[in-house]
Each structure stands twice: as structure tokens, then as C-alpha cells.
């Protein structure tokens, strides 16, 4: 499994391919390399970055799957937990869907 595949599996949400690739690049995670536990910190921070992207998107309804405003709070909590776990406190992670 590549780092990119591992990130997609960890996020488990239909984001654009380039969103996942950008998260890998931003975290110095080579997307085509084989995933190993030694990359856990980078992978989890890339996951938190992807979750933050989800928070800035409007409600998505695709193939019977919907991420609504009510469960975006859980997405935010998970992103904040991962940033805190790895010492990257992010202030102002917020649900920005009301901006659309």
C-alpha cells in the first residue's frame, strides 16, 4: 500500500485526488512510496489537513452518502485531536459551510 492509498483509507471520504496528493506533498510524504509505521506522524497530520479541507466544503450528497453540518463537528474534533497529538495546535478550525 502506498502512502497515498493509506491516506485515502484513513480519511475515507470522497475528496478530489489532488487534495490527497497536496496533503502528502505538504507533509513531505512521498505518495508513491510504500507506507510504513515510521510515517505515521506525517500520515496522521496529512489526514488532519484533509479533514480541515472537508470542513471548508459545503454539505456533500453523493450516492446516498451525506456529510451534513451536524456531523462536521465530529470531523473538527478528530482534526483537532490529531494536530494536538503531534504538537501542531491549530487555532480557528471551524465549520465554514455557512460561508457558502
What pLDDT score was predicted for residue 25?
97
Encode pLDDT of 41-94 as tens digits: 999 999 999 999 988 877 666 676 666 655 788 999 999 999 999 999 765 555
Residues 9-33 have a mean pLDDT of 95
Helix (H), strand (E) at residue 61? strand 60-62
Worst-scoring range by mean pLDDT, 17-21, 77-81, 93-97? 93-97
What pLDDT score was predicted for residue 94?
52
pTM across the whole model: 0.79
**Alpha carbon of residue 46 to chain centroid:** 6
Buried b (16+ CB within 10 A) or exposed e, 39-66: bebbbbbbbbbbbbbbbeeeeeeeeeee
Residues 11-37 have a mean pLDDT of 95
Amino acid at each position: 500500500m502506498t502512502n497515498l492509498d493509506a491516506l485515502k483509507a484513513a480519511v475515507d471520504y470522497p475528496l478530489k485526488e489532488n487534495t490527497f496528493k497536496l496533503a502528502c506533498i505538504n507533509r513531505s510524504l512521498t505518495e508513491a512510496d510504500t507506507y510504513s509505521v515510521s510515517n505515521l506522524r506525517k500520515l496522521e497530520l496529512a489526514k488532519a489537513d484533509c479533514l480541515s479541507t472537508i470542513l471548508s466544503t459545503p454539505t456533500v450528497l453523493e450516492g446516498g452518502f451525506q456529510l451534513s453540518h451536524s456531523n462536521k463537528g465530529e470531523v473538527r474534533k478528530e482534526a483537532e485531536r490529531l494536530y494536538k497529538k503531534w504538537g501542531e495546535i491549530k487555532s480557528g478550525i471551524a465549520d465554514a459551510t455557512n460561508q457558502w
